Amino acid sequence: MGKMDRFWFGDQIEKTAEYFREHFPKEGRHAREQADKICENRFVFREHWEMERTHEEVHFPEKIVWDHIPAGDPEWIYALNRHTCFVILGKAWRLTGEEKYAAKYVQLLKDWMERVPLTQESRKDTWRSLEAGIRIEHWLKSFLLFENSPLFTEEIKQKAEKILYLHGEYLLETNMPFHKLSSWGILQNHGLVLLGLYFGQEAWVKEAVKRLDEEAYLQVFEDGSQWEQSPMYHCEVLYALMDSLLMLKRFEKKVPKRLEEKTKKMAYALACWCKPDGHIPCHGDSDDIDAADLLTEAALLFEDKVLKFLSGGLFYEDNLWNFGFRGAKNYEKMAAREPEWTSAVLSDAGNYLIRTRWDKEADYVRMHCGCVGSGHGHGDLLHVDYYSRGEDILIDPGRCTYVDSPMRKKLKMPSGHNTYCVDGKEFFEYDSSWSYSRTAHPVKGEYRFAGQANLAMAAHLGYLDQGLFATRKVITVKEGLLLIIDVCYGNGRHTYDSFYHFGRNGKVTLKENGRNGMARAHFQGQKAQAEIFVMKGTAEVTKEPCSSEYNLLETCCCLKTKYIQEGQASMITVISTAGADGQEITAELLPVKGVRSGKTYDSKEAEAVRLVKDGKEYVVILCHQELTTPEDYLTVGNYVSYGKVIVFSEENTEGICLQY
């Protein structure tokens, strides 16, 4: 077996290409369309895991300017110099056999090698160590894809190998403290692993594995989440680690147990993060991407039945170019096992993930209140996402750009998320595209998962200088019925502004505002609809920016609520979802009493929400303070129990206590 036969699909190229033609016609058409553009020197970056996608073509009438910066965003340089174009041309050539794709590949390869040298200056753009690490995989895969092309001669290949060897020397010397904690380190050392295996440089392999082990230890929390607090960068790191492990296994190299365990934890953390449709939330600097292919990758790599179930049982095009035709067949044979859990907490990162079932119509709620992570982290403490009935209800508006600008600031700040601010003051202060001058300290809270009824709570110290303690509880009463309870403890008269950004494919209309001190709105989506009750205060609907992909600026409806209160303040929001048939729902606040004492508690001590949805009644008791009456318990209507958060229904009149 030759060295290239051990790489990815190297020993089964023809069968893999045939499988691609037969099973991935849509992806094949995309590859050809992109390759045709590349042949005309037209570039737009639209690949599945493209880190900074583009939407407008850039055309070079003559020679390509490899360090070109359109629209003032240097991310374009980096995307161009990762050379995904080489793999795209290779796929098109394998699909069609048309030599124009091979000719363009050779032309681009030669042009880049001749005109883009490694210099001190180019280390800042075309030869950034991150791009150097990433493009190694694309070069090696292009070698495989064009292996039988008469235009890709041995002479050209040898010249390319000299440049690749230079990449190895460069990456070997590039190892600063920054790389240990940044995704850069793992992505570039993945490239060093590949080169070490390709050139038979054992010292390179050993050093790269050592670095990856150290970096994964520092970067990956015990809950499996990568510290930068961006699901997309978590995915990029996970892929680099999994591909490194796969290649090391193929070349029969020893892998540190710790590195393997960290990588597997990352796969499970990703499974928790993914919404029921397999997409990651736009948490931090992330795009709305279907990440199920990475779970398929992990299932195959670790031969894990639960990961096979969590991947949805589908084999994706990206998996094909890593595991080949044989991998597709092996995946078909793998058994799947449903996990015993649905909801989960990534406790180190402060991500609370409530899920009702394992299917695409299930409810999914995510609240984040943890570390900001790197410059990719946003000021999103207490932010909530909500997915129900196959559609996004509440979303994270995303990132759009890295260019330091008013839009970058708006999308990173608290008011750009589903959280609340006090007296018009944000609890983060923006400094630059990659830094804050002030951040709020997160306080991770309790959680209890009891099937349909679930609780997650958290807080932060962002308003401590004003003598305020900001808290939030998220409660699922049943599938399709969500409560968000915000209590801010302190003194003085304050104005509380809450923000709820809704799925960009839907419309929000205000139905009532201020009647009986309550506002009501309606969300109409493509698959789902929702009724929103703002139990205290007033509301308005505005259009706000959002971005499901880098460089794509969209808008979404935002429900902004306002409540003014003296002293401790509690704000309660109810969101009830339904399908196309709609729903009948009412919501009201009720007083809470002590059974023995007969005392009616002040609403600052305890209050209850009564909901009647489609003829069924639900009551939730909420205690905002410690109630210390002797041997007493609580009642609302005909319901009686003890606890701080209790959910009652006609099916469970004794109540489910979610917090004591």
Tens digit of each residue's pLDDT (9 = 90 or more) over 243-277: 999 999 999 999 999 999 999 999 999 999 999 99
pLDDT at 522 over 70: yes
- The answer as to whether 230 is a domain residue is no
Last residue of a domain, one of 174, 196, 225: 174
- The answer as to whether 369 is a domain residue is yes
Q: Are residues 576 and 602 in the same domain?
A: no
Q: Are residues 614 and 574 in the same domain?
A: no
Q: Are residues 572 and 509 in the same domain?
A: yes
Q: Are residues 437 and 544 in the same domain?
A: yes
Query: What is the tens place of the pLDDT at every residue in 14-35?
Result: 999 999 999 999 999 999 999 9
pTM to 2 decimal places? 0.97
Which CATH number does the domain housing residue 368 bear? 2.70.98.70
What pLDDT does residue 3 have?
Answer: 80
- The answer as to whether 420 is a domain residue is yes
pLDDT at 629 over 90: no
Q: Are residues 35 and 17 in the same domain?
A: yes
Last residue of a domain, one of 174, 189, 207: 174
Q: Is the dihedral of CA 15, 16, 17, 22 positive or negative?
A: positive
Query: What is the tens place of the pLDDT at every residue in 44-77?
Result: 999 999 999 999 999 999 999 999 999 899 999 9
Could you give the number of structural domains in the chain?
A: 3
Tokens matching residue 560: 């902004």
Q: Are residues 482 and 360 in the same domain?
A: yes
**Domain range for residue 659?**
585-660
Q: What is the 3-state secondary structure (H, E, C) of 241-274?
A: HHHHHHHHHHCCCCCCHHHHHHHHHHHHHHHHHC
Q: Are residues 614 and 555 in the same domain?
A: no
Q: What is the 3-state secondary structure (H, E, C) of 160-195?
A: HHHHHHHHHHHHHHCCCHHHHHCHHHHHHHHHHHHH
Q: Are residues 6 and 69 in the same domain?
A: yes
Which CATH number does the domain housing residue 157 bear? 1.50.10.100
Q: Are residues 493 and 423 in the same domain?
A: yes
Mean residue pLDDT of the chain comes to: 96
pLDDT at 2 over 70: no
Q: Are residues 513 and 590 in the same domain?
A: no
Tokens matching residue 149: 């092309």
Last residue of a domain, one of 526, 550, 583: 583
Q: Are residues 569 and 607 in the same domain?
A: no
Q: Are residues 533 and 599 in the same domain?
A: no
Query: Would you give the DSSP letter of residue 375?
Result: T
Query: What is the tens place of the pLDDT at every residue in 479-512?
Result: 999 999 999 999 999 999 999 999 999 999 999 9
What pLDDT does residue 649 have?
Answer: 96
What pLDDT does residue 516 have?
Answer: 81
Buried b (16+ CB within 10 A) or exposed e, 112-141: beeebeeeeeeeebbbbbbbbbbbbbbbbb
- The answer as to whether 304 is a domain residue is no
- The answer as to whether 418 is a domain residue is yes
- The answer as to whether 624 is a domain residue is yes
